Chain A
Amino acid sequence: MKGYSASGILSAVKEGRGGVFVAHSKNTQDCACVRFPNPEKVVLPMQQHIGAPCEPVVKAGDEVKVGQLIADTDKFVSAPIHATVSGKVTAVGDVKLPNGVISKAVTIESDGEMAVFEGIEPPKVSSRDDFVKAVRASGLVGLGGAGFPTHVKLAFSPDKNIDTLVVNAAECEPYITVDYRECLDNSEYVIRGILALKQYLGFKQVVIAVEDNKPKAIDKLSETIKKLAPEDHSIRIMALKSKYPQGAEKMMVLSATGRKVPPGKLPADVGCVVMNVASVAFIARYLETGKPLVSRSLTVDGSAIHTPQNVRVPIGTSIDSIIEFCGGFKEEPFKIITGGPMMGLAIIGTDLPVLKQNNAILAFADGTFKVKPETDCIRCGRCAEACPMSLMPTLVARFAKAKDVNSLQKSGVVVCMECGSCSYVCPAGKPLVQHMRLAKSILREAGAKK
């Protein structure tokens, strides 16, 4: 593997400043995904993506089958939702999402059959437009956590000069290993997905970015490239230094291409599309079978979980039943997170459905994470050193407290992606990310007033 160590050195040189070293805790990396048995019921909220919520096209009492469309909208930035079990729609009403938002949801009681919808067939794709339409119809959203509808990223015009596809397999968040398992267990789908994306959208180069703490994934992917596309030299694998937040979109683009995405711009503005590795593999599978996004892989881990493992679950399954499937709690849970410990969301209870974009459920017993008391800022500058966006979190926090709109605008806080590196390193235990969020909302308010 000389090739990848050389590119590893290159990536280390190109790598921007900032970032933090967080314990990887990839406890479940040797657990191939276990299939979750059929849930008794699923709850499918209409808002499982960034953008416009869907409207249900079924009503209580309807019989549905796996893969059947149950909600859609004519808004562009959105993704349709499909039934994930077969059975009867028992309710169409409001539920509370993990982030506290109330959303309309369709509840389906399973008949235990998991009968697949008859209308499912591989999409007929012969052109660029067909391809983007097919991706929309599949209901795919970014599976890495953000939940941005994938077809929106792909619907760029051919003359926009977008030449690079960056496949994000960095998985820099601690604990989570589902993308790693995707690379190991479904590497053929990953590469076939890449080839399809290249074929229909004309990417000139593809970079698969993996952190260098996952050498097996790197080996497996390069083997598969040799097997499936021996002539194709435009696909390369890049080993990134294992440093949080390597998987952030702008960091990814910088590492892969050396291009910097300017503040307020998207990767597309520098000719790149960044896609999560599981999303890429899903596209290949969808083109083959036509089965929309009805299930996803999750890492279930944390000190309070009896048997940490990776599970493939129908979307909408309750977090409760998934934890039960993993042996329940071995200790009283203190905090339960959807997503990783750096950017994940702490939830108020386990009676919540798994959404399309959730990649982990982590439950921690009390004392797993030491809580630092908040002390005074000693101006050590570690937050500024850790910020991948070259911001000065301690100054931003001060401006935010003073509601100093002018200074906040100059500070450039709008580029903050809330990765949490500043809060992580702060020896004074300051909740700097919250100050950054506050700063951004102050700016939004000030902008709205104008």
Chain B
Amino acid sequence: MSVSKKLTVSASPHVRSSATATGIMLDVIIALIPSLIAATVIFGYRVLMITIVTVGSAVLSEYLCRKVMKRHNTIGDLSAVVTGLLLGFNLPVSIPLWMAAIGSVVAIVVVKQMFGGIGQNFVNPALVGRIVLMASFPTQMATWAAKSQFIDVSTTASPLSQLKTMFTEGSISFSGDMPKLWQMLVGLRLGSVGEVCAAALILGGIYLIIRRVISPAIPLTYIGTVALIMLIAGKGNLTFVAYHLLSGGLMLGAIFMATDYSTTPINFKGKLIFGVGCGLLTAMIRLFGSLPEGVSFSIIIMNILVPHIERLTTPKPFGTPKEEKKKKEAEAK
């Protein structure tokens, strides 16, 4: 055979890796599946209904939004599915479905698409969706009444508020009405549907790290910082630390929300700063704030600081001499 057709001429490189944005999002979805299963087992089938509503309304609002803005459609990249899943995970099981849908619409339309779509939003859409719902429907968002065969609602007090009382009163002791630590690990406690089963979340996190979708830098520094501060606050009581790590939305936040590409630093150093910052804020809110939990707010505050973190941590080009580095830094100041 000879060259009969015209040859393709294009710039190098001629070979590309197989990674695609859709593939990455698919990996995140796979990583969330253990938690979805756990949540359904713990809280019942209503979890699936919430998920269908949040995912469905997220995808639909992304589709319509792109249509109205006359831009190419991006629902194929599956990022709206991830946002929907994560928002669903952040809601109590008793939430009315129409409220869940409002959360999705806010997340996709206001936070994501109005800022230019995937990669452009400066705060985490699912988290803002949750915060808007908390501000608009405080009662429904704080109703943890669960119809579940596993959890006895009447006797189970919120671990986080108990932990706070322990800290403010200065006496660290664990009474019988706290869930056991193993119950905290598998998710037999009250909370948003997707945040309770720490074991499933960690499993998903390990999958994402192995698949190199996320760097372990942010989850480790985030969780590590909280652990360190709680160790000091609990006067060295390891049980106190363990309860803090397994309570609230820390695992969900550290593994799945604080690792969102669009709203976290690209550089390794930046990631470390981001993780430590999230950890500090979360611990401060939990210890001294008026809210029992601060994961959402911590991540959002750090999201806003990302451009500044990145400016400080952009690496110098290969081989830039040390003195020059210092000089440049001085100039920047």
- Chain A interface residues toward B at CB < 8 A: 16, 20, 22-23, 174, 250, 260-263, 265, 328-337, 341-350, 364, 369-372, 375-382, 384, 388-392, 394-395, 412, 415, 418, 420, 423-429, 431, 433-434, 437
Contacts and interface: CB of A to CB of B under 8 A. Distances in A.
Contact of B266 (A23, A343, A369, A379): A379
A344 B14 contact: yes
A391 B317 CA distance: 6
Interface string B1-31: 1111111111111111111110110000000
Counting contact residues on chain B (CB < 8 A from A), the size range is 35 or more
Contacts of B21: 375-376, 378, 380, 427-428
A328 B9 contact: no
Nearest to B262: A379
Contacts of B173: none
A318 to B, nearest CB: 13
Contact of B11 (A23, A382, A431): A431
Contacts of A335: 7-10, 14
A346 B262 contact: no
Contacts of A348: 6-7, 9
A433 B16 CA distance: 12
B317 A412 contact: yes
Contacts of B314: 392, 395
21 contacts: A263-B320, A335-B9, A344-B12, A349-B3, A369-B16, A372-B20, A376-B77, A376-B117, A378-B21, A378-B77, A378-B79, A380-B24, A381-B267, A390-B315, A412-B316, A420-B12, A426-B19, A427-B23, A428-B20, A431-B11, A434-B11
B301 to A, nearest CB: 19
A395 B18 CA distance: 22
Interface of B: 1-21, 23-24, 74, 77, 79, 117-120, 261-262, 266-267, 314-321
Contacts of A424: 13, 15-17
A348 B318 CA distance: 35
B7 A333 contact: yes
B12 A389 contact: no
Given A343-B12, A429-B20, 14 more contacts: A23-B15, A263-B317, A334-B8, A342-B15, A346-B11, A346-B14, A347-B7, A347-B9, A376-B74, A381-B261, A423-B16, A424-B16, A425-B19, A427-B21
A201 B151 CA distance: 81
Nearest to A345: B12
B15 A378 contact: no
Nearest to A20: B17
B10 to A, nearest CB: 6
A448 to B, nearest CB: 22
Contacts of B24: 378, 380, 427
A376 B119 CA distance: 7
A127 to B, nearest CB: 34
A382 B214 CA distance: 10
Determine chain A's interface SS by DSSP, over half rule. loop
B320 A262 contact: yes
Contacts of A174: 15
Listed residue (B5, B15, B21, B74) with the most chain A CB atoms within 10 angstroms of its CB: B15
B7 A342 contact: no
Contacts of A332: 1, 4-5
Contacts of A265: 319
A415 B319 contact: yes
B2 A328 contact: yes
Q: Would you list the 9 A-B pairs with minimal beta carbon distance, nearest first?
A: A412-B317, A420-B13, A381-B266, A260-B319, A427-B19, A389-B318, A329-B1, A390-B315, A262-B319
B19 A390 contact: no
B1 A331 contact: yes
A390 B317 contact: yes
Nearest to A21: B17
Contacts of B118: 376, 378
Given A331-B1, A376-B118, A379-B262, A425 B316 contact: no
A343 B6 CA distance: 21
B262 A378 contact: yes
Nearest to A244: B13
Nearest to B4: A332
Nearest to B23: A427
A331, A346, A369, most chain B CB atoms within 10 A: A346
A378 B19 contact: no
A412 B320 contact: yes
A324 to B, nearest CB: 9
Q: By CB atoms of chain A within 10 A, which of B16, B21, B74, B319 has the most?
A: B319
Contacts of B5: 332
Contacts of B3: 329, 333, 336, 349-350
B75 to A, nearest CB: 12
B1 A330 contact: yes
Given A16-B318, A263-B317, A428-B21, A346 B117 contact: no
A428 B37 CA distance: 31
A304 B247 CA distance: 59
Q: Which of A369, A427, A429, A437 has the largest count of B CB atoms less than 10 A from its CB?
A: A427
Nearest to A362: B14
A109 B15 CA distance: 37
Contacts of B266: 379, 381, 384, 392, 394
B313 to A, nearest CB: 11
A392 B315 CA distance: 8
Given A348-B7, A379-B261, A429-B20, A390 B14 contact: no
A28 B1 CA distance: 22
Contacts of A262: 319-321
Contacts of B4: 332
